[in-house]
Amino acid sequence: MKSSNVPKPGESLAAYVHRLRLALGMSQQAVSEKSGVHAQSIGKIERGHTTVLKQKTQRGLAYALDIPEAHLEAAAKGISVEETGALKFCPQCWIPGNAPDAMWLHIHAHYCFRCGSALRHNCVQCDSPITSLKHRFCPYCGTAYNAPEKAES
C-alpha cells in the first residue's frame, strides 16, 4: 500500500488533491479530462474554494487520481480514512496492527480481492463498527478483529 496516497493528518482537501495531482505529474486539464470534472471546478478545489465534493465529482476525481473515494471524503471532512466508516478489511488476509489494504477500503468493495472472503466492517461479537485498525481488538468487547466468525464451543 502506498501510504503517500492517504491524506496526511490535518491536510486539507485542497492540499491533498494538489499533492496527488503533482505526484502523478498531471495538469489540472489532464485531471479534468480523465475525471470528467470541469477544469475550473478542479481549480476551485485546489484553491480551497470547494470543500464539499458532489458524489459525481468525488467519483471522477478518485478515478483520475487513482485513490479510493473514501480518501477524498476523509480529506474533505478533515478526518482519518478510518473514521469515514468505509473501514473494511478481510478477516483472512489482514494482519492485525498493519494498515488495511487500500483495495478493501474502496467504497464498493464487499469481498476480498485476494481470497474472496466477505469484508468485515464491524465486530463479529458485538456488531460495533470498526473505527480504527490501529487496534487489534474491539474496544467495546475485546474480541480480536480478525477472530473467526462465532465458533460453536
What are the residues binding Zn ion (CB under 5 A)?
A: 90, 92-93, 112, 114-115, 117, 123, 125-126, 128, 138, 140-141, 143
Alpha helices in the chain (DSSP H): 13-23, 28-35, 39-46, 55-65, 69-77, 102-105
Give me the least distance between CB of 29 and Zn ion, in Å please: 39
Toward Zn ion, which CB reaches closer, 51 or 125?
A: 125
Output 56 or 114, the one with its CB closest to Zn ion: 114
SS3 content of the chain, % helix, strand, coil (to 5): 40, 5, 55
Cβ proximity to Zn ion: between 73 and 101 the closer is 101
Spatial distance between the Cα atoms of 1 and 137, rounded to a whole number of angstroms = 22
To the nearest whole angstrom, how small is the minimum distance from the Cβ of residue 153 to Zn ion? 17
Question: Distance between CA atoms of 114 and 95, rounded to whole angstroms?
Answer: 14
Nearer to Zn ion, 40 or 140 (CB): 140
Nearest distance in Å: CB 113, Zn ion: 8
Question: Cα–Cα distance between 136 and 131 in angstroms, integer?
Answer: 11
The CB-of-132 to Zn ion minimum distance in angstroms stands at: 13
